[in-house]
């Protein structure tokens, strides 16, 4: 249980600290180069799922928030039952804790950020706990994203002819990795990655006894 609590609280504290700093110190659409163009802080907000994907409309946003809450309750129950087993795999506990923490991190944005922040604009910083109230009602806040890794940025005209054309977007560029994400997204991805890589270890089946 202590391991799960440590992972969840650590991810949540780091995730929310970064998001609050970004929201109150950067304009929407602003970027800060950390390692050239390879790693940037690029502030965007989205109404939808991980890595900037969208689920359109006010109704879609509300349904997504409700789904997230239900999913988190289910994950929390599984994590609680897992930590009560003495033989539970420690890495499996870490993996589920990472997924749980990431889901909670983005839920906080969706549920509360509209209430506690003012709107972010291109030339105006958001304010935490504004006197006039937040920019959206409960469950309709936007998720803050900021990590952008432009590992490859290649124009079609400069690319080798053997590269598949589907790699290039409408702007004629192949940019890898395009999605902008946050620490909560990364936490979920790492947790899911552990489940995929070590699934045989985590979910090994016990062979029936031979008679």
Query: What would the mean pLDDT of 76-80 be, rounded to a whole number?
Result: 95
Question: Which token pair is 22?
Answer: 């970004």
Nearest to 146 by CA among 62, 24, 55, 9: 24
d(CA 116, CA 135): 8
Which segments within 12-126 are labelled E, that is strand? 31-35, 39-46
The secondary element (H helix, E strand) that includes residue 197 is helix 183-197
Q: Look up 185 and say whether it is catalytic.
A: yes
206 pLDDT band, cuts 50/70/90, is very low
Cα angle 199-14-95, degrees, rounded to a multiple of 5: 10
pLDDT confidence band for 210 (50 / 70 / 90): very low
Q: Which of 89, 145, 158, 171 is catalytic?
A: 145
Domain boundaries, the chain: 2-198
Rounded-to-integer distance, Cα 147 and Cα 119, Å: 20
Verify whether residue 15 is a known catalytic residue.
no
The whole-chain average pLDDT of the chain stands at 88
Which residues, 6 or more positions from 67, have their beta carbon under 8 angstroms from its beta carbon? Answer: none
pLDDT at position 120 is: 96
Q: In the structure, what pLDDT confidence band is assigned to residue 30 with cuts at 50, 70 and 90?
A: very high
**pTM score:** 0.84
């Amino acid at each position: 249980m202590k391991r799960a609590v440590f992972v969840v609280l650590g991810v949540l504290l780091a995730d929310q600290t970064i998001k609050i700093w970004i929201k109150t110190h950067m304009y929407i659409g602003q970027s800060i180069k950390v390692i050239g163009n390879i790693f940037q802080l690029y502030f965007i907000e989205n109404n939808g799922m991980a890595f900037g994907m969208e689920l359109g409309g006010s109704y879609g946003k509300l349904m997504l928030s409700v789904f997230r809450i239900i999913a988190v309750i289910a994950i929390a129950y599984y994590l609680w039952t897992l930590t009560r087993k003495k033989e539970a795999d420690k890495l499996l506990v870490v993996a589920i804790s990472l997924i749980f923490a990431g889901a909670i991190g983005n839920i906080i944005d969706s549920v509360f950020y509209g209430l506690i922040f003012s709107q972010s604009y291109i030339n105006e910083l958001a304010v935490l706990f504004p006197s006039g109230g937040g920019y959206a009602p409960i469950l309709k806040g936007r998720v803050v994203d900021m990590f952008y890794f432009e590992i490859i940025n290649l124009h079609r005209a400069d690319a080798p002819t053997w590269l598949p054309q589907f790699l290039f977007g409408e702007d004629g560029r192949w940019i890898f990795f395009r999605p902008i994400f946050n620490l909560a997204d990364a936490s979920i991805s790492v947790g899911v990655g552990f489940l995929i890589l070590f699934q045989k270890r985590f979910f090994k089946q016990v062979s029936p006894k031979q008679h």
